[in-house]
Structures are given as C-alpha cells and as structure tokens.
C-alpha cells in the first residue's frame, strides 16, 4: 500500500491528512495524486466511496496560492449533498494551509452567496445551475482558475446538466488542468473529455466485490423514527460479543453513543472530530472488551485492524457499495462467522439493490424483533451465564446459602429469580436521535434529492428513537439536483443549523 508520506506532499497537507486519520492511500488516490501533482489532465473512472475527493483534492490544495485572493479551483458537482460533502473534505485537506472553500447551490437567497464571494474563496464547489447563475450575474470570476474538476459526470448527464457544464467550461481558461470523474463513460461524457481536455491520462479503479462467504448479510426495512428501537432490540436478541454500528454523520455517531449508553449498553463512538489520542483510547477499550459496541463513521473506521467483531449494524445504509464492502469487512475475519444487518428506509430501497448488484449476493430480509423477543433474548443470555457458572465455577462456598434459600422456595422459583437478577431487561428510557434525510432517490429520479425533509418531531416518550427535526429541503433551484441551499465560508449544510461532516 502507498502511504501519503511517500507522495512528496507539503508539510501542511500531510499534517491535515494525518489529522483526518489517513495514513495509506486508496487505489484511486495512489494512482491519481502523482499524476495530478504533475499538472496532467485526468479521467478517473471510479465510484463514490473510493476516495476520489481526496484524490483530486490533494493536488488541488497543493497548487493553491493562499496569498492570491482569486478563485483558483472549481469543482462542479451534480447535487447539493455531494457539493457539501466535497467542500467539507476539501476544507479539512486545506485546513493547515488556510485554503478558503465556498460551496454554492440553488435554493437560498443568492445575495448571501454574493456576500460570501467577496471574502475571496480560493476554491468554489457548486452545482451547475447556481454556478451558471453567478457567472451570468458576473458575481463569479473564473479567469484565474487553474484546476477544474467535474465530479460524478455521468450523474450530471442523467440530470440534464450537460449544456450548463459546457457553458461553464467555456468561461474557464483553456490552460487549466481538468480532472473528470465518472463511474461510467457514456458517449456524451467522452465528447466533453475530447472537447475540453488535453491528452488526459485515464485511471480506472474497479469496485471491490465481497469475497468473504462467512458473513451472513441481512437487511431490515424500517422507518427513520423506528431505527433506534430496532437497533437496541436486535442487540438484545443477538447479544453480540463485539459490534460496530456505522452511522452516516458525526452527529449521528455522537447521538447513538449517548443514546445506547442511556439505555445501559457499553458503547462509545469515534469520528473525525475526535483527537487521535481519544480515538486510540476508545479503540483500546473496544479491543479489550471494556466496551461492547463501537459506533463509527466510514472515515473513522477506515483501516481499523480489529479482530473478534461478531456483528456489524449499518444504522444508515451507505450511499455507495464500496463503503458497504468496507463496513461489513470488519467482521467475519480469520475464518470466523460474522453477521451484518443493514437498516433501509422505504425510500432507500434502490440503494439496497445497487449494493446487491455489486456484491452479487442478495441480502436476507430480517423482521425487526418485538419488545417481548428482546426480553426473551436477554433472558436466554442470563440462562447461558448461569449454565456457564455451574460448569466452570467452584460453588461449594455458596452451597449453604443455596440450601437455606431452597428451604423456603421452590427450585424452579429459585432458578427463575437467578435468571431475573442476571437479565438486562430492555430499557424504555426516552432518547433523542435527530432524523436524517433519506439519501437521494435511486431509480427513475437518479440523484435528484428529496423535496421533503422531516418536519417537527418531538422527543420520543416510550421506546421511540425518533426525535427532533433535521430541517427540510424545500426546493427552490432550477433543476432536480440543484434545488439546494447555499453555504459560505466554512461549508454549511443549512442556514439554520451546524453542518455535521460526512466522515
């Protein structure tokens, strides 16, 4: 494996990469970064989840002159969600160099974006419709752009953005470096490459396939507000020795760790905002069995060498199959059996099909357990503890008390009482889990995003895991993926709440 330290990067970029928890480059990064640093045009054929943002982000950040207040790099992305994700990643990569990143997308007062433009961002990440709007208003000057990236070009083709992209490309200097990333290469994308790129180097990265046959893969169809109860009951029924729960965002990880602890589980979370020392402490406790459940984001769990994981719970289905492969690979190691359970909301069933096509294996539907089934699971675990103690322990010192107890109680009543004392009964303490928007729908409306959003949502009063609203996306742009809010300065996912990075 190629290490970032071997790629001749600046001290500031290496410092940022280390803070992000990266040491080894993914295949697309190892192939793209050296070519990108040479200033060559690149066509990268890779899916989301292969690490392509860092692959094009590092050469881009390396080239930025922070003393120059002009826009020096432009990334065009198909959707608001991807624009936010890319801008947050670039912000982290360029943090120690002090590179300024601004994301722009439709659906919010354009005047706010115009004010943010006056703060002299070095890098602009935007959706086609809103970028073109700024160009026409002359609020975005691209005359000094040295690096241009087309991210998920085939998605932009599917959404009808090709004409907009061509219009944007005509305003950028022809001497720029151009990087185009696409999972597939249909003819219209090839024509853009031929017209706007100069002798591009083609880099292809195939998606991994799951080759581990000893991982049992399940999915459970569940609404967003029912996810947490389903998770806690599954844990009660299955009694995993060591489990990893994957959440989509840092906020999700923090809330799950807190909620599981409230319900009496030994659980802690790791994500990119934690210090390296804190992450190492949590991982040590997990490896030593002092906590049973680790909650993690994809980025934080990357490269973890953990043995003995019996269960992986995908609390949020990943957006791409590459991440799914990585997640479930945490279990079923060294010839041992493993189990993965993926939670899928009704609107995200299209992603399940994509994962199954990639892994060439259908997941088995799993009915969410009831409260009674969760209790029964814990009772059986208590009985197993009793049986184990009876087999392995020297109990002679306890015989007098046992005989005294049996003098007043029926033997069945005595064993039932012991099981009751050892049973961790399902907890019904209310918890708060912020609802996340479903992923953009797949199928007929690819990449278009959802027009709804969760409204209201009070704290759950019973075993409910649902709670506060995460805000809605009410639309407002000119096209499906461009119906979005804007961000300025440090990337934001909403004007009303803090952005929680997808890492």
Q: Looking at residues 235-248, what average pLDDT do you find?
A: 92
Relative to beta strand 201-204, strand 123-126 is unpaired
pLDDT given at position 26:
83
Out of 270-274, 313-317, 475-479, the most confident range is: 313-317
Q: How confident is the model at residue 496 (pLDDT cuts 50, 70, 90)?
A: very low
Check: pTM over 0.85? Answer yes or no: no
Residue 228, token pair as written in the block: 């947490």
Give the SS3 label for residue 71: coil
Number of DSSP helices (H) and strands (E) in the chain, helices first: 18, 16
Question: What pLDDT shows up at residue 440?
Answer: 66
Query: C-alpha 87: how far from its chain's center?
Result: 15
Give the number of other CB atoms < 10 A from CB of residue 284: 11
Average pLDDT value for the chain: 81
3-class DSSP state of 342:
strand
Asked whether the predicted pLDDT for residue 462 surpasses 50, the reply is no
Q: Give the whole-angstrom CA distance, residue 298 versus residue 324.
A: 9
- Least confident span in 3-17, 324-338, 403-417: 324-338
* 333/308 Cα distance (integer angstroms): 8
Q: What is the pLDDT of residue 222?
A: 94
Phi-psi region of 435 (alpha: psi -120 to 50; beta: other; left: phi over 0): beta
Alpha-carbon dihedral 22, 26, 32, 33, rounded to 10 degrees: 20
| pLDDT band at residue 27 under the 50/70/90 scheme | confident
| Per-residue confidence (pLDDT) for residue 452, from 0 to 100 | 30
Structural Rg of the chain based on CA atoms: 26
pLDDT band at 300 (very low <50, low <70, confident <90, very high): low
What pLDDT shows up at residue 288? Answer: 86
Instruction: Specify the DSSP class assigned to residue 398.
Output: G
Lowest mean pLDDT among 40-44, 89-93, 261-265, 400-404: 400-404
Q: What was the pLDDT predicted at 442?
A: 52
**Alpha carbons 225 and 231: distance in angstroms, whole number:** 11
- Helix/strand/coil for 160: coil
Alpha helices in 119-161, H assignment, sequence order: 128-137, 153-158
- 407 is written with which tokens? 């003098």
Q: What is the pLDDT of residue 423?
A: 75
Q: What is the pLDDT of residue 130?
A: 93
C-alpha pair distances (Å), 272 with each of 88, 187, 309, 325: 12, 39, 21, 20
Average pLDDT over residues 225-243: 93
H or E element: which one contains 191? helix 187-196
- Output 497 or 421, whichever has higher pLDDT: 421
Query: Which is nearest to 247 in space by CA: 256, 238, 260?
Result: 256
Q: What is the mean pLDDT of residues 166-179?
A: 93
3-state SS, 223-261, equals CHHHHHHHHHHHHHHHCCCCEEEECCCHHHHHHHHHHHH
Q: What is the pLDDT of residue 212?
A: 52
Q: Is 158 helix (H, G, I), strand (E, B) or coil?
A: helix
Min mean pLDDT across 36-40, 47-51, 158-162, 169-173 is at 47-51
Asked if pLDDT for residue 35 goes beyond 90, the answer is yes
Among the residue ranges 134-148, 151-165, 452-466, the one predicted with the least confidence is 452-466
Give the mean pLDDT of 24-32: 89
Q: Helical H runs in 341-468?
A: 349-359, 371-392, 399-408, 411-422
Largest Cα–Cα separation, the chain: 94
Element (H, E) at 195: helix 187-196
Torsion of CA 82, 86, 89, 95, to 10 degrees: -140
- Of 53-62, 76-85, 124-133, 285-294, which range is least confident? 76-85
Instruction: Compute the average pLDDT of residues 228-233.
Output: 94
Contact call for residues 304 and 333 (beta carbons, < 8 A): no
Contact yes or no for 224/438 (Cβ under 8 A): yes
Three-state DSSP class for 476?
Answer: coil
pLDDT 10s digits, 351-371: 898 888 877 888 999 998 888
| pLDDT beyond 70 at 346 | yes
- Angle at the Cα of 101 from the Cα atoms of 97 and 107, rounded to 5 degrees: 170
* pLDDT, mean of residues 451-467: 32
Per-residue pLDDT at 96 exceeds 90: yes
> Can you read off the two tokens belonging to residue 360?
């060439």
| pLDDT tier at 335, thresholds 50, 70, 90 | low
Question: Looking at residue 360, what DSSP letter applies?
Answer: T
pLDDT at 503: 35
Percentage above 70 pLDDT, the chain: 82
Whether 500 and 493 have beta carbons less than 8 Å apart is answered as yes
User: Two tokens at 61?
Assistant: 């950040």
Name the pLDDT band for 333 (thresholds 50, 70, 90): low
> Could you tell me the pLDDT band of residue 465, with boundaries at 50, 70 and 90?
very low
pLDDT band at 481 (very low <50, low <70, confident <90, very high): very low
pLDDT at 413: 86
Q: Report whether pLDDT(193) > 60.
A: yes
Domains contained in the chain, CATH given? 4-206 (3.40.50.300), 215-369 (3.40.50.300), 371-422 (no CATH)
Q: What is the mean pLDDT of residues 39-54?
A: 83
């Amino acid at each position: 494996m190629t290490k970032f330290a071997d790629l001749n990067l600046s001290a500031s970029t290496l410092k940022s990469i280390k803070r992000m928890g990266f040491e080894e480059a993914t295949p697309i990064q190892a192939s793209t970064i050296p070519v990108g640093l040479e200033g060559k045009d690149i066509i990268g054929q890779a899916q989301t989840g292969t690490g392509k943002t860092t692959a094009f982000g590092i050469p881009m950040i390396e080239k930025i002159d922070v003393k120059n207040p002009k826009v020096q790099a432009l990334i065009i992305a198909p959707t608001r969600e991807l624009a936010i994700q890319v801008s947050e990643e670039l912000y982290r990569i360029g943090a120690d160099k002090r590179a300024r990143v601004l994301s722009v997308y439709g659906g919010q007062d354009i005047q706010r974006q115009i004010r943010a433009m006056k703060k002299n961002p070095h890098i602009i990440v935007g959706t086609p419709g809103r970028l073109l709007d700024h160009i026409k208003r002359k609020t975005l000057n691209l005359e000094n752009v040295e690096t241009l990236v087309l991210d998920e070009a085939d998605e932009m083709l599917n959404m009808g953005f090709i004409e907009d992209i061509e219009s944007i490309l005509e305003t950028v200097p022809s001497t720029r470096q151009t990087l185009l990333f696409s999972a597939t290469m249909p003819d219209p994308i090839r024509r853009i490459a031929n017209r706007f790129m100069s002798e591009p180097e083609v880099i292809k990265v195939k998606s991994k396939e799951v080759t581990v046959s000893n991982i049992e893969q399940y999915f459970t169809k569940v609404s967003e507000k029912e996810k947490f109860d389903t998770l806690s009951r599954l844990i009660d029924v299955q009694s995993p020795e060591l489990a990893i729960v994957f959440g989509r965002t840092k906020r999700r990880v923090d809330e799950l760790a807190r909620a599981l602890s409230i319900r009496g589980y030994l659980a802690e979370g790791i994500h990119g905002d934690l210090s390296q020392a804190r992450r190492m402490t949590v991982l040590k406790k997990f490896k030593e069995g002092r906590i049973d459940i680790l909650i993690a984001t994809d980025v934080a769990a990357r490269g973890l060498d953990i043995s003995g994981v019996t269960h992986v719970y995908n609390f949020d289905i990943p957006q791409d199959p590459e991440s799914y492969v990585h997640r479930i690979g945490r279990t079923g190691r060294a010839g041992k059996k493993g189990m993965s359970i993926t939670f899928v909301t009704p609107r995200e069933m299209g992603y399940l099909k994509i994962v199954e096509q990639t892994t060439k294996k259908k997941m088995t539907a799993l009915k969410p357990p009831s409260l009674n089934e969760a209790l029964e699971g814990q009772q059986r675990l208590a009985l197993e503890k009793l049986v184990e103690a009876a087999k392995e322990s020297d109990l002679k010192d306890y015989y007098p008390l046992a005989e005294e107890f049996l003098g007043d109680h029926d033997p069945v009543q005595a064993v039932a009482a012991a099981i009751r004392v050892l049973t961790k009964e399902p907890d019904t303490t209310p918890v708060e889990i912020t609802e996340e928007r479903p992923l953009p729908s797949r199928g007929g409306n690819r990449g278009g995003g959802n027009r709804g959003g969760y409204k209201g949502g009070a704290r759950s009063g019973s075993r409910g895991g649902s709670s506060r609203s995460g805000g809605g996306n009410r639309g407002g742009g000119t096209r499906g993926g461009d119906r979005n809010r804007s961000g300025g300065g440090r990337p934001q996912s909403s004007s009303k709440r803090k952005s929680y990075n997808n890492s």
